[in-house]
Structure 1
Amino acid sequence: MTRSSLLNALMLTPLIGATHSWMPALGVWLIFVVVSSAFGLAMAGLRNRLVPASRLIAAVILAATLTSCMRLAMQAWALQWHQQIGLYSGLIALQCVVLEHTGFHQRPWRDRLRQGAVFGALMVGLGLLRELLGDSGLRLATLAPGGFILLGLLIAAWQAWARPMPSN
């Protein structure tokens, strides 16, 4: 599995699982932005001071600590989001470690901002679409299999729209 496919697989899990409504999708994305930003800043200060063998251990400990602190803060101040998000907030620590391993935090800040915004737009957009379809009577859209089907249809529509029309 390449680094890109591993990262895409990690982003796919919250994209499908936490987007049954737009509120949990927004919550997961906000946690991702806060934890990933804090993780990137902390690792920037640690990266040059650590030998390569200890960077992974430091990254795992730092990501788990930041995610746990964020979960506790959410539990105290936003209990409804905390209950809706469930285990997906724990996946953010793994995403931070994988992002560090792929060199995401060493990229220019504009690239990181763009990719974070695209991930957030996908999360909230898919959550909103699934909620609207579920409210209109298509209950399958709010379940995980419906999320996969809907995402597959959206990808197929994007590819069909982006493909140039053949000229005869």
Structure 2
Amino acid sequence: MRTHPTYREITINGLWKNNPGLVQLLGLCPLLGTSNSMVNALGLGLATTLVLACSNAAVALIRNAVSDAVRLPIFVMIIAALTTCIELLMRAYTYELYQILGIFIPLITTNCIILGRAEAFAAKHNVLQAGFDGLMMGVGFGLVLLALGTLRELFGTGMLLGNMQLLFGSMAADWQISVFPHYQGFLLAILPPGAFLVLGLLIALKNRIDEMVAARAPVPQDDQTPAPSRRVRVTGVIE
């Protein structure tokens, strides 16, 4: 009997079936608080993905050497150390973006997604599977962040890829695209209530897609109930 999930199952779970942002609804504070632009969403998404993948691999590496009494504190220490490394890197190379994201970078340490995956998956599987699970969960979370940032920036300002130089340097200074010229802006989209509205629409869209896929899926043979047979009574006269 197979007890370990395949890499395909891990990928589908992280990106779609068990997506942290759309299904588990974890990490909503940074998800909603930093998704008012693409660059903010992409920056936090990359930072969270790196911490999630590395912490999962580290937890899986020591899972047999740590007792249950100190397991959770050790997991938190690992996550905090990795978050500090990401924070120092952002200070060194993307300082302006680090200032914009503010407290949400240190708060990666307490993100429910990271500690939850460390406890639920990394502590029970090998290093490769745990690291890959962390990577897919992080990518799934980052894609939701990026979708929110894209939609909110588009409808809020009428532009895309604004201020990308904060993350990619001077080469990205000309990446900004004006999708709606002379657009007056829609303030609600870039305010916190807009984040809730857009996330709700994304969750509704995912649920609708799941319903359509389930409706088109073939019915297994075991679930097909044969139609009841009809008995036809024939009467006649034999001469």
TM over 0.5: yes
Query: Is 1:133 matched up with 2:155?
Result: yes
Instruction: Report the counterpart of residue 15 of structure 2 in structure 1.
Output: none
Aligned residues: 162
**Secondary structure at 1:48 match in 2:** coil
Instruction: Report the counterpart of residue 49 of structure 1 in structure 2.
Output: 65
Structure with greater helix percent: 1
Query: Over the residues paired in the alignment, what is the CA RMSD in angstroms?
Result: 2.6
Matches within 5 A, 1:78-89: 78-89=94-105
Measured at CA, do residues 42 and 157 of structure 1 come closer, stay the same or move farther in structure 2, by a change above 3 Å?
Answer: closer
Aligned-pair CA distance for 1:105: 6.2
| Consecutive aligned runs of 4 or more in structure 1 exceeding 6 Å deviation | none
Aligned-pair CA distance for 1:156: 2.5
Matches within 5 A, 1:66-105: 66-95=82-111, 96-104=114-122
Deviations 1:80-117 (A, max 9, x none): 22012112222321232232122256463555443332
Whose Rg is larger?
A: 2
Measured at CA, do residues 112 and 57 of structure 1 come closer, stay the same or move farther in structure 2, by a change above 3 Å?
Answer: closer
For residues 35 and 101 of structure 1, what CA distance do their matches in structure 2 show? 15
Q: Structure 1: state its 5+ residue gaps.
A: none
Deviations 1:47-73 (A, max 9, x none): 111111111111111111211221122
Instruction: Report the counterpart of residue 116 of structure 1 in structure 2.
Output: 138
Query: Percent identical across equivalent pairs?
Result: 34
Query: Is 1:159 matched up with 2:207?
Result: yes
Q: Structure 2: state its 5+ residue gaps.
A: 1-18, 159-184, 216-239
Aligned match of 2:196 in 129, 137, 148? 148
Conserved 8 A contact 1:26-1:120: yes
Conserved 8 A contact 1:105-1:112: no
Deviations 1:22-51 (A, max 9, x none): 111111111112112221222222211111
Aligned-pair CA distance for 1:155: 2.2
> Which moves more between the two structures, 80-89 or 114-123?
114-123
How does the TM-score come out when normalised to structure 2? 0.60
How does the TM-score come out when normalised to structure 1? 0.82
> Which moves more between the two structures, 114-123 or 56-65?
114-123
Conserved 8 A contact 1:16-1:148: yes
Aligned-pair CA distance for 1:143: 1.1
Paired amino acid for 1:58:
I
Instruction: Report the counterpart of residue 14 of structure 1 in structure 2.
Output: 30
Conserved 8 A contact 1:20-1:131: yes
Measured at CA, do residues 140 and 133 of structure 1 come closer, stay the same or move farther in structure 2, by a change above 3 Å?
Answer: same
| RCO comparison, higher one (Cα < 8 Å, 6+) | 1
